[in-house]
């Protein structure tokens, strides 16, 4: 009986090996994209053009929604997604935490799409008046750097204020209750607060931050699948061009997803930057400045080199930009 048992064991082992190989192959042929409820990737997902192009390459697309940039980058870090988009600050915190990521592309600046808000009847009239006040924000989000730069520009230190870290929904509740003196937030929450709460914009990013959105991928995926990344960037760019030319259509599509009135959504849509450009030395330098600032403030534990985590597209792709 032993030969039969041995043969059965070998058959089972072979079957397991084939199954594992099939699973591994399936994973290799699936592009897993992380997105947030608002932004260009939402529009790309709805259009379905990426799926059609990648199907020709034998690649499926899987979409996963995240509540914010820090959570999305945690998904990249643990390997649950291959690609995503966030503001300029989350990648800095993720790199400092050891995430194996690469910057793939960026969107044009959108400095008006984030701001420091105060209640409509607040006595605070300038950033200087924030000294000693409670300021709420989402730690590690794009607005974290806006706050740092706004304080610096006003002659204040980061330690001159009391920071309260809450996600957007909780932060808005605290802002409405009067538990905090100011709220640093991005669109569409910013536009909603401006119109629904008549919140006053103390300072937006104009003149002090770019507020880029960055498209990022895990290093292993980007290095192994340059053609997939190339196709993805091209499709993001195409959707961006369409969005710039059709803000009303974008609003009609996005407004129900956000649960916001069309007028609030349209304000956010018009303030957003659209496109997908490969990183320039100037953009890398600006991102390095953010990393250096956070290290000096001891918000991250070690100095970073941004240029070491920039994806280099194939020469033909870079020329086509």
Block means of pLDDT (10 residues each) for the chain, length 321 residues?
38 35 49 90 91 94 89 91 93 93 95 97 97 95 94 97 95 97 96 97 96 95 94 95 93 89 94 92 96 94 97 64 52
Burial class (CB in 10 A: 0-12, 13-18, 19+), 254: buried
Q: Say what the pLDDT of residue 315 is.
A: 62
**What ranges make up the beta strands (E) of the chain?**
30-35, 60-65, 83-87, 101-106, 114-118, 134-137, 162-165, 182-186, 200-204, 213-218
Q: Look up residue 278 and give its DSSP letter.
A: P
CB distance 292 to 303 below 8 Å:
yes
Q: Say what the pLDDT of residue 10 is.
A: 33
The CATH H-level (homologous superfamily) assignment of domain 30-109+213-320 is Periplasmic binding protein-like II (3.40.190.10)
Q: Say what the pLDDT of residue 21 is.
A: 36
CA–CA separation, 221 and 218 (whole Å): 5
CA–CA separation, 82 and 96 (whole Å): 19
CB atoms within 10 A of CB 304: 20
Query: 111-204: same fold as 30-109+213-320?
Result: yes
Q: Say what the pLDDT of residue 9 is.
A: 39
Q: Say what the pLDDT of residue 70 is.
A: 83
Give how far the C-alpha of residue 206 lies from the chain's centroid of Cα atoms, to the nearest Å: 20
Reported pTM: 0.83
Q: Say what the pLDDT of residue 257 is.
A: 83
Q: Say what the pLDDT of residue 321 is.
A: 52
What are the residue ranges spanned by the domains of the chain? Answer: 30-109+213-320, 111-204
Q: For strand 200-204 and strand 114-118, is the pairing parallel, antiparallel, or unpaired?
A: antiparallel
Q: Say what the pLDDT of residue 188 is.
A: 92
CA–CA separation, 27 and 143 (whole Å): 35
Structural domain 111-204, CATH architecture: 3-Layer(aba) Sandwich (3.40)
């Amino acid at each position: 009986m032993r030969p039969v048992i041995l043969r059965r064991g070998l058959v089972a082992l072979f079957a397991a090996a084939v199954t594992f190989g099939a699973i591994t192959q399936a994973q290799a042929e699936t592009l897993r994209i992380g997105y947030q409820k608002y932004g260009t990737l939402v529009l790309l997902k709805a259009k379905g053009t990426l799926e059609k192009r990648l199907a020709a390459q034998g690649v499926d697309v899987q979409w996963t929604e995240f509540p914010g940039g820090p959570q999305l980058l945690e998904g990249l870090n643990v390997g649950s997604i291959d690609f995503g988009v966030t503001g300029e600050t989350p990648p800095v915190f993720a790199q400092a935490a050891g995430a194996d990521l690469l910057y793939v592309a960026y969107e044009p600046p959108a400095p008006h799409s984030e701001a420091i808000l105060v209640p409509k009847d607040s006595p605070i009239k300038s950033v200087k008046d924030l000294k000693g006040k409670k300021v709420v924000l989402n730690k590690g989000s794009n607005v974290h750097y806006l706050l740092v730069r706004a304080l610096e520009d006003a002659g204040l230190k980061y330690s001159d204020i009391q920071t309260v870290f809450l996600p957007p929904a909780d932060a808005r509740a605290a802002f409405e209750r009067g538990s905090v003196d100011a709220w640093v937030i991005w669109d569409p929450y910013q536009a909603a607060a401006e119109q629904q709460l008549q919140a006053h914009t103390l300072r937006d990013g104009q003149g002090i931050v770019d507020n880029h959105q960055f498209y990022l991928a895990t290093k292993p995926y980007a290095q192994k699948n340059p053609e997939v990344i190339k196709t993805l960037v091209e499709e993001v760019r195409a959707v961006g061009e369409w969005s710039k030319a059709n803000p009303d259509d974008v609003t009609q599509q996005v407004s129900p997803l956000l649960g916001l009135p069309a007028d609030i959504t349209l304000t956010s849509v018009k303030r957003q930057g659209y496109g997908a450009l490969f990183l320039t030395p100037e953009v890398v330098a600006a991102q390095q400045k953010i990393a250096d600032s956070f290290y000096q403030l001891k918000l991250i534990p070690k100095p970073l080199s941004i240029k070491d985590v920039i994806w280099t597209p194939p020469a033909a792709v870079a020329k086509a930009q």
